[in-house]
Amino acid sequence: MAATGIGDSGGMTQDQIVLFTLFAAVFGMMLWGRFRYDLVAFAALMLGVVLGVVETKHAFDGFGHPATLVVALVLVVSAGLVRSGAVLLITRTLVDSSRSLGAHVTLMGGIGGVLSAFMNNVTALALLMPVDIQTARKAGRAAGLTLMPLSFATILGGMATLIGTPPNIIIAAYRGEALGESFAMFDFLPVGGLTAVASLIFVALVGWR
């Protein structure tokens, strides 16, 4: 097992130095963006095993964690919604290029927030981006005015439900292991939903400016 404490002399152990160096390298590679994030992360895991800071028998424990499986299932549901055309039908029906910029941000933000509450927020953003760009072209305005508010909206909506964002899933799984009872689907709604609504209102009225 990799050392996690501070050495007797107050300095870091060799394993800790290796781990922090590895973290810095991974962070740098992700900022660079030259390689896919999943490949960088997996390569870092394998390098950790080779360097001895990750035990071989525990290297793949994370792939069997309940939170990982739930995230994978959310991605499957998201893909089903995409391939069925349900999301595209909703957006094409509701989005109108004749609306004012503020009204458009409000509508797209609301759609993005609701979608990201029940599917992966990155997938929700990827679905809505082409619609947003096409609407901006028809309205004769720069797409940059609405893309960032849309990005914020999909992040905010994920806070409202258990499956809306991976951190909620992870903390629910941890609570289940520690206390014997996990969070339910809408336990995050009173706080996360209120925060999302208030933030969406700010983005729609002030943030896009």
* Tens-place pLDDT, residues 11-64: 778 888 988 999 999 999 988 988 888 899 899 999 999 988 888 888 888 777
Q: Which stretches does DSSP call E strand in 38-113?
A: none
Please state, in angstroms and rounded to a whole number, the distance separating the CA atoms of residues 1 and 181. Answer: 29
Look up the pTM and report it. Answer: 0.64
Predicted confidence (pLDDT) at residue 170 exceeds the cutoff of 50: yes
Distance CA 23, CA 40 (A): 11
Whole-angstrom Cα distance, residue 61 to residue 14? 24
User: What's the pLDDT tens digit per position in 71-95?
Assistant: 777 777 767 777 777 767 776 777 7
Q: Is 133 helix (H, G, I), strand (E, B) or coil?
A: helix
Give me the mean pLDDT over the 90-115 stretch.
Answer: 84
Distance CA 22, CA 25 (A): 5
Cα–Cα distance for residue pair 51/11, rounded to 1 Å: 20
Query: What per-residue confidence (pLDDT) applies to 206?
Result: 84
Instruction: Give 208's pLDDT tier (boundaries 50, 70, 90).
Output: confident
Q: What is the pLDDT of residue 10?
A: 59
User: What pLDDT is recorded for position 1?
Assistant: 45
Query: Could you give the CA distance from residue 41 to residue 208 in angstroms, rounded to a whole number?
Result: 34
Q: Tokens standing for 59? A: 């290297």
Mean pLDDT: which of 40-44, 99-103, 130-134 is highest?
40-44
187-195 long-range contacts, CB within 8 A, separation 24+: 187/162, 188/159, 188/160, 188/161, 188/162, 188/164, 189/160, 189/161, 192/159, 192/160, 192/161, 192/164, 192/168, 193/159, 193/160, 195/156, 195/159
More confident residue, 117 or 97: 117
Q: With contact defined as beta carbons under 8 Å apart, do 133 and 143 qualify?
A: yes
pLDDT of residue 191: 94
